[in-house]
């Protein structure tokens, strides 16, 4: 599909273009989505991995002198590393949730509700932890379009890993916050644009609630280790993704433990219903 050909800009609206990075994988789908917002002044959301051809495509699509800001949804290695090369080429200001944790030089930390205003657009930052502690979404007021990074994806479910700072309780709270918003579309960090935000968010929340019920049902049958739980509930998951599935189970168990509904120590321990 041309829309997901790496390095080829795809217009999503009068204000937004998407360039897909050349890093496809089972975890990233077609690749990381980099978004260019604005025409006269451009905000680049998630420059992606450190790939020279991808940075060249960003500059070619937006014109070097028009890139004013680089906005990071979070600091994971498929979203942030190209920032340094892009800033060296454009002099853009880097904005992220924290000045310390992005792995790149951040000029300004964004708090929940902070705004970036270009000549043609207004982007509001929303702190949406869960996938990572530093995760931000960006709301484009003019189009009611939400850039969701890895909080909500196109065509698959996001990963919540405690080893990467993921927090299932915070993740569900962030999803429910988005569900209360009047969104027209979602522009995810991976995959295609979501034209039915409420349905997708309902599905995301329902998916996590179903997994939680499945885990509790296994624990009701007796104490179990995480690989046993994965084997019981991830029956259709490819073998290559079972380790990731184990991380999801751990994230749910940590949440249940914080609520007094499960007891266990870590990834290797035995867990039981509390």
Residues annotated as catalytic (active site), given as ranges: 78
Q: Is residue 93 a contact partner of residue 68, using CB atoms and an 8 Å limit?
A: yes
Dihedral, CA of residue 58, residue 149, residue 199 and residue 37, to nearest 10: -40
Q: Is residue 47 a contact partner of residue 82, using CB atoms and an 8 Å limit?
A: yes
Q: Is residue 135 a contact partner of residue 75, using CB atoms and an 8 Å limit?
A: no
Work out whether strand 108-109 and strand 93-96 pair parallel, antiparallel, or are unpaired.
parallel
Q: Is residue 223 a contact partner of residue 270, using CB atoms and an 8 Å limit?
A: yes
Dihedral, CA of residue 64, residue 68, residue 74 and residue 78, to nearest 10: 0
Q: Whole-angstrom Cα distance, residue 86 to residue 64?
A: 9
Q: Whole-angstrom Cα distance, residue 173 to residue 175?
A: 5
Burial readout 144-177 (b: 16 or more C-beta within 10 A, e: otherwise): ebbbbbbbbbbeeebbbbbeebbbbbbbbebbee
Q: Whole-angstrom Cα distance, residue 113 to residue 6?
A: 32
Alpha helices per DSSP H over 143-196: 168-179
Give, rounded to a whole angstrom, the gap between the first and last alpha carbons of the chain. Answer: 49
């Amino acid at each position: 599909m041309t829309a997901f050909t790496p390095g080829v800009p795809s217009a999503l609206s009068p204000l937004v273009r998407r360039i897909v990075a050349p890093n496809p994988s089972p975890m990233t789908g077609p690749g990381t989505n980099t978004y260019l917002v604005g025409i006269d002044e451009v905000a680049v959301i998630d420059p992606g991995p450190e790939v020279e051809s991808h940075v060249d495509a960003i500059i070619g699509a937006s014109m070097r002198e028009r890139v004013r800001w680089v906005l990071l949804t979070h600091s994971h290695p498929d979203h942030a590393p190209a920032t340094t090369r892009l800033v060296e080429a454009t002099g853009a200001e880097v904005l992220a949730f924290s000045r310390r944790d992005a792995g790149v030089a951040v000029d300004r930390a964004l708090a929940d509700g902070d705004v970036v205003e270009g000549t043609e657009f207004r982007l509001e930052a929303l702190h949406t932890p869960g996938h990572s502690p530093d995760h931000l979404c960006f709301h484009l007021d003019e189009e009611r379009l939400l850039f969701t990074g890895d909080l909500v994806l196109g065509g698959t479910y996001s990963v919540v890993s405690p080893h990467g700072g993921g927090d299932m309780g915070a993740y569900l709270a962030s999803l429910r916050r988005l569900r209360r918003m009047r969104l027209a579309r979602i522009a995810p960090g991976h995959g295609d644009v979501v034209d039915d935000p409420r349905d997708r968010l309902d599905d995301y929340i329902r998916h996590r609630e179903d997994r939680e019920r499945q885990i509790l049902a296994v624990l009701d049958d007796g104490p179990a280790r995480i690989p046993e739980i994965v084997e019981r509930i991830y029956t259709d998951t490819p073998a290559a993704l079972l380790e990731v599935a184990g991380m999801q189970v751990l994230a749910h168990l940590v949440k249940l433990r914080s609520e007094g509904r499960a007891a266990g120590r870590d990834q290797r321990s035995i867990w039981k219903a509390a």
